C-alpha cells in the first residue's frame, strides 16, 4: 500500500513533468509576445491559437483546475508568482492541444492503445513511468509495481483516477511530438557539395597584410545622424527588426516612513507586550501569536542574533529582555533556560591550500606552503588577511569564515574530527589534511551543545494609519495636479525633492518594474488601450511602504516597428556607415606601401599581419572576427591588393600574401555528419518557429491578469 500512496501523491506530479518537457519544446523565442489590441474583438477573448478563440471563462476554468491540483499536491495555495506560472503552464498546454495537434493530425500521427500499453507496462517503458515506479530497495524500475498500481486504479478516488488519465494523455502527447520531430529531423539532407564547402571553410588557410582604420577612431560626437537616415536604414533592414509590444514609463514614489509619533506609539505597544509576555502562562504560544516574524522557541547559539548574544550571559530564567533593534524589526525575549542537544555546534574559519595535482611533489609543495602560513599566523600575522590572500576556495573573500556547522557529517571526516576535538577557541596548532588539501583552522566560536529557550516577539515598526493617509493624500494631490507627462516634468523642475524613476521597454506580461516587486497593476494600466503616450495614471498605485504615480512615455507595437523601438542600436549602425564612408573616401586617395598609406592617413590607421587564418574561425587581430574582411581575403588572389572597402568593424586595404588550399579528400562524410548533427540539434527550434508562426498566436492575457 505504500507504493499506492506514493503514486496517489505523485501521479499528478508525473503528469506535470511530462507537460513541462513538452513546454520546453516551445521555449526559445518570443512565442508569447505576439499579442494585439482589442480592436474589433470580443472583450471576453483571452487569445487566439490557430484560428481557435480562447474565451476567458474557459481559460480561467482550466487555471482554477490547475490551481486546485497544485494546492492538493503541495498542501498550500500558490503565491502570486506561482499563480503566474500556473497560468503560463495552462496557456502552453493550450498551444500544444491546438496548434501542435493540428500539425500532428495533418500527418495522421497518433498513438495506438497497444503503443500506450507498451509505454506503461510493455517492452518500451517511457522514462517518466520508469521514474515514478522505482523499487525503493534496489533503486531500479520495477514493472510489477506498475501492474499492481493499475490493478488498484479503479478503487482509488476519482481525483487520482483523473490524475492518472492526465498522466497518460501527457505520455501520448510526448510520444506524438517525438514522432513529429523525428520525421522533421530525418527530412534534413546534406549534399556532398555542402560538406566539401564546410571542409574548405575550416581547412583552407591564408595570410595577409592590411591597413585597418576602426570606426571608433572617429568620435561619435562628430557624426550627426538625421532621423530620416534612421528611417531609411530601418526600411532597408526591416526583416532584421521584429516588432514587439512594450511600454516605457516614468514615475515618482512617495515613501511612507514612520513618524516620530508612530515610533513612540510602537514603543509603547512593545512595552505592553513585554509585560504581557512576562505573565503569559504559555510564553512560547503567546510570542508566536503576537509576532510579525515568527522564530523557533528552542534555538541554537548560532541562530541567536549578534546583539542578543552579547547580553546572553546576563539573562536570568523568566526574565524579559529587549527590545533589540534589527532594521525596522524590534524583538523582546523571555528567557526560559537551556537544553542540551545530542549534536554540537561550532564556528570556524580556515585557509585552504590545495595541491596543483595529485602527485606527491604537488602535495608536498602545498603542505610546505600551508605550514609557512600557519607559522606567520603564530608569529602575529592576521588570519583573515592571509585567508583573503592565500585561500583557495570560496571562503577566502570572507576571511575564511565557514560560519556555524554541526558535527553531523556536513564537513569531511578529517576536518570535523580536528575541529570538534579542539577545546575552546583560537588557532589549531597543526594543519589539517583532507582530500581537498591542507587547512589552517581557527575556531571563532567554541563548540557547544546548548540550545536556548527564547520566547521571542518580533514586531515590525510600521507607519500608523494617519501617516498612511497623509502620504496617500500627498500622492493623490500630485496626481490630480499633474495629469500629463508635461505637467509632471514641469513639477520635477519646481520641486527638487521629487525623484523621477524610469523603466523602459516593459513587457506586457511583466510582474515587476525595476525594484517594484508586485507591479502588475501598473503594467496593466500602461498597456490599457485607453492609456496614451503622455498620460498620467490619474490614480495612485500602492506598493509596500510607498505610493506611486506613473506616466506613459513610449509604447511599441509588434505590428508597427518604429525607429524608437531600436533607436540606440540603429543609430550606432548608421553612425558606423557614415564613418565608413568618410574613412573610405580619405583612404581611396592614398597610395604607396601599406605603411605609407597608414602614415598619410594619420591617427587611427593600423598596419597588421595575419597568418594561417580560415573563413570559419579567422580573427584579424584588433579588427576581430570581421566576416566581410575575411570573405574579401579568401576571394583574393595571392599578391593582389584590394581597394579601400568598408567591413564590419572598420575600413580596410588588404594585400593577400599567401594561401594554403585545403587538400582534396576522397570522402567528406565526416563533415557531412557534422552539418547533419548541427542541423538536427536545431530541429526543435525550427519546428517551434514554424508552428507558432503558422498558428498566428494572439495572447491577450495581460488584459485580464
pLDDT at position 25 is 41
Using 50, 70 and 90 to split pLDDT, how confident is the model at 166? confident
Q: What is the CATH number of domain 258-462?
A: 3.10.50.40
Q: Given pLDDT bands bounded at 50, 70 and 90, which one contains residue 39?
A: very low
pLDDT over 70 for what percent of the chain?
Answer: 94
pLDDT band at 689 (very low <50, low <70, confident <90, very high): confident
Phi-psi region of 90 (alpha: psi -120 to 50; beta: other; left: phi over 0): alpha
Highest mean pLDDT among 286-290, 459-463, 514-518: 286-290
- pLDDT band for 351, please (50, 70, 90 cuts): very high
Element (H, E) at 699: strand 698-699
The 3-class SS string of 425-444 reads CEECCCCEEECCEEEEEEEE
**pLDDT, average across residues 563-585:** 94
The pLDDT of residue 544? 79
Q: What's the rounded mean pLDDT across residues 140-148?
A: 87
Q: What is the pLDDT of the chain when averaged over all its residues?
A: 87
Tell me how far apart the alpha carbons of residues 6 and 156 are, in angstroms, rounded to a whole number: 13
- pLDDT tens string 532-555: 999 999 999 998 789 999 999 999
**Alpha carbon distance 400, 390 (integer Å):** 10
Which is nearest to 213 in space by CA: 554, 629, 572?
A: 629
503-530 core/surface letters (b: 16 or more CB in 10 A; e: else) = beebbbbbeebeebeebbebbebbbeee
CA distance 94 to 55: 12
Q: For residues 600-611, give the mean pLDDT.
A: 93
User: If pLDDT is split at 50, 70 and 90, which confidence band does 431 have?
Assistant: very high
Q: Is pLDDT at 76 greater than 90 in this prediction?
A: no
> Could you tell me the pLDDT band of residue 2, with boundaries at 50, 70 and 90?
very low
The residue among 91, 94, 50, 100 whose CA lies nearest residue 684 is: 100
Query: Which pLDDT value is given to residue 361?
Result: 85
Whether 360 has a pLDDT exceeding 90, the answer reads: no
DSSP per-residue string spanning 47-107: EEETTEEEEHHHHHHHHHHHHHHHHHHHSS---HHHHHHHHHHHHHHHHIIIIIHHHHHHT
pLDDT of residue 401: 92
Percent of the chain beyond pLDDT 90? 53
Closest CA to 616 of 594, 631, 596: 631
- List the chain domain ranges: 2-185, 205-243+566-660, 246-257+464-556, 258-462
What CA–CA distance (Å, rounded) separates 367 from 439? 9
pLDDT tens digit string along 483-541? 999 999 999 999 988 889 999 999 988 889 998 988 999 999 999 989 999 999 999 99
Which helix (H) or strand (E) segment is 270 a member of?
helix 260-279
CATH 3.10.50 fits 205-243+566-660, yes or no: yes
**SS3 state at 619:** coil
What pLDDT sits at residue 477? 95
Secondary structure (3-state) at 168: helix
Q: Report pLDDT digits (tens) over 215-270.
A: 999 999 999 999 999 999 999 998 899 888 999 999 999 999 888 888 888 888 99
- What cell does 2 get? 505504500
Residue 384: partners with Cβ closer than 8 Å, 6 or more residues away:
349, 399, 400
Q: Over 50: is that where the pLDDT of 432 sits?
A: yes
Angle, helices 360-378 vs 383-390, to 10°: value is: 150
pLDDT of 18 strictly over 70:
no
- What is residue 20's predicted lDDT score, i.e. its pLDDT? 39
- Mean pLDDT over 459-487 rounds to 92
Q: What is the pLDDT of residues 382-408, one digit of tens each?
A: 999 999 999 999 899 889 999 889 888
Q: So what's the pLDDT on residue 659?
A: 93
- Angle 601-606-609 (CA atoms, 0-180°, nearest 5)? 135
pLDDT at 606 over 70: yes
Equal fold, 205-243+566-660 vs 246-257+464-556: yes
The reported pLDDT for the residue numbered 35 is: 38
Say yes or no to pLDDT of 653 above 90: yes
CA distance 456 to 324: 11
Q: How far apart are CA 400 and CA 377, in angstroms?
A: 14
- pLDDT bucket at 3, cuts 50 / 70 / 90: very low
Q: Which of 484, 463, 459, 483 is nearest to 542 (CA)?
A: 463
Residue 271 has pLDDT above 60, yes or no: yes
**Confidence at residue 540, expressed as pLDDT on a 0 to 100 scale:** 95
Q: Could you tell me which CATH number the domain at 246-257+464-556 has?
A: 3.10.50
Amino acid at each position: 500500500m505504500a507504493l499506492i500512496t506514493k503514486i496517489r501523491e505523485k501521479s499528478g506530479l508525473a503528469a506535470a513533468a511530462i507537460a513541462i518537457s513538452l513546454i520546453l519544446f516551445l521555449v526559445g523565442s518570443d512565442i508569447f509576445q505576439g499579442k494585439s489590441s482589442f480592436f474589433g474583438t470580443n472583450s471576453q477573448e483571452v487569445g487566439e491559437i490557430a484560428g481557435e478563440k480562447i474565451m476567458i471563462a474557459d481559460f480561467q476554468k482550466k487555471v482554477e483546475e490547475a490551481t486546485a491540483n497544485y494546492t492538493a499536491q503541495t498542501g498550500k495555495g500558490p503565491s502570486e508568482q506561482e499563480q503566474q506560472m500556473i497560468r503560463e503552464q495552462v496557456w502552453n498546454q493550450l498551444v500544444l492541444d491546438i496548434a501542435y495537434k493540428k500539425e500532428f493530425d495533418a500527418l495522421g500521427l497518433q498513438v495506438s492503445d497497444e503503443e500506450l500499453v507498451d509505454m506503461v507496462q510493455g517492452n518500451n517503458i517511457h522514462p517518466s513511468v520508469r521514474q515514478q515506479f522505482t523499487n525503493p530497495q534496489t533503486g531500479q524500475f520495477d514493472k510489477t509495481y506498475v501492474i499492481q498500481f493499475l490493478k488498484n486504479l479503479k478503487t482509488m478516488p476519482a481525483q487520482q483516477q483523473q490524475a492518472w488519465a492526465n498522466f497518460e494523455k501527457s505520455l501520448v502527447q510526448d510520444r506524438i511530438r517525438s514522432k513529429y520531430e523525428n520525421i522533421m529531423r530525418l527530412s534534413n539532407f546534406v549534399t556532398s557539395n555542402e560538406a566539401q564547402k564546410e571542409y574548405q571553410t575550416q581547412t583552407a588557410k591564408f595570410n595577409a597584410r592590411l591597413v585597418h582604420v576602426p570606426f571608433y577612431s572617429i568620435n561619435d560626437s562628430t557624426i550627426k545622424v538625421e532621423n530620416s537616415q534612421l528611417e531609411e536604414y530601418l526600411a532597408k533592414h526591416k526583416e532584421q527588426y521584429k516588432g514587439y509590444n512594450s511600454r516605457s514609463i516614468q514615475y515618482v514614489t512617495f515613501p511612507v516612513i514612520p513618524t516620530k509619533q508612530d515610533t513612540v506609539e510602537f514603543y509603547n505597544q512593545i512595552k505592553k507586550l513585554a509585560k504581557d509576555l512576562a505573565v503569559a502562562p504559555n510564553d512560547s504560544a503567546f510570542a508566536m501569536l503576537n509576532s510579525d516574524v515568527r522564530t523557533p522557541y528552542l534555538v541554537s547559539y548560532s541562530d541567536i542574533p549578534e546583539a542578543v548574544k552579547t547580553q546572553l550571559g546576563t539573562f536570568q530564567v523568566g526574565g524579559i529582555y529587549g527590545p533589540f533593534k534589527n532594521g525596522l524589526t524590534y524583538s523582546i525575549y523571555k528567557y526560559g533556560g537551556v537544553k542540551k542537544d545530542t549534536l554540537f555546534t561550532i564556528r570556524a574559519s580556515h585557509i585552504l591550500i590545495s595541491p596543483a595535482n595529485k602527485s606527491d611533489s604537488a602535495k608536498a609543495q602545498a603542505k610546505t606552503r600551508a605550514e609557512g602560513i600557519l607559522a606567520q599566523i603564530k608569529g602575529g600575522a592576521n588570519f583573515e588577511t592571509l585567508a583573503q590572500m592565500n585561500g583557495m576556495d570560496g571562503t577566502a573573500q570572507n576571511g575564511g569564515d565557514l560560519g556555524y556547522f554541526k558535527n553531523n557529517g556536513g564537513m569531511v571526516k578529517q576536518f570535523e574530527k580536528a575541529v570538534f576535538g579542539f577545546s575552546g577557541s583560537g588557532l589549531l596548532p597543526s594543519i589539517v589534511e583532507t582530500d581537498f588539501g591542507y587547512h589552517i583552522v581557527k575556531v571563532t566560536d567554541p563548540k557547544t551543545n546548548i540550545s536556548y529557550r527564547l520566547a521571542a516577539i518580533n514586531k515590525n515598526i510600521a507607519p500608523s494609519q494617519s501617516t498612511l493617509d497623509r502620504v496617500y493624500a500627498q500622492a493623490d494631490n500630485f496626481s490630480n495636479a499633474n495629469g500629463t507627462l508635461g505637467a509632471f516634468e514641469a513639477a520635477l523642475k519646481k520641486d527638487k525633492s521629487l525623484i523621477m524613476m524610469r523603466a523602459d521597454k516593459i513587457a506586457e506580461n511583466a510582474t515587476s518594474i525595476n525594484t517594484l516587486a508586485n507591479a502588475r497593476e501598473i503594467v496593466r494600466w500602461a498597456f490599457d488601450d485607453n492609456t496614451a503616450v503622455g498620460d498620467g495614471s490619474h490614480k495612485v498605485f500602492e506598493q509596500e511602504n510607498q505610493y506611486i504615480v506613473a506616466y506613459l512615455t513610449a509604447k511599441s507595437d509588434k505590428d508597427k516597428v518604429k525607429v524608437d523601438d531600436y533607436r540606440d542600436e540603429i543609430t550606432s549602425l548608421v553612425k558606423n556607415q557614415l564613418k565608413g564612408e568618410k574613412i573610405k573616401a580619405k583612404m581611396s586617395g592614398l597610395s604607396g606601401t601599406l605603411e605609407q598609406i597608414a602614415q598619410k592617413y594619420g591617427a587611427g590607421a593600423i598596419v597588421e599581419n595575419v597568418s594561417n587564418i580560415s573563413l570559419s574561425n579567422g580573427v584579424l587581430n584588433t579588427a576581430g572576427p570581421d566576416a566581410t574582411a575575411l570573405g574579401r581575403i579568401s576571394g583574393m588572389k595571392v599578391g593582389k591588393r584590394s581597394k579601400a572597402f568598408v567591413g564590419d568593424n572598420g575600413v580596410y586595404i588588404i594585400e593577400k600574401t599567401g594561401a594554403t588550399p585545403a587538400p582534396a579528400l576522397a570522402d567528406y562524410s565526416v563533415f557531412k555528419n557534422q552539418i547533419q548533427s548541427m542541423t538536427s540539434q536545431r530541429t526543435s527550434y525550427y519546428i517551434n518557429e514554424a508552428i507558432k508562426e503558422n498558428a498566428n498566436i494572439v495572447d491577450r492575457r495581460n488584459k485580464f491578469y
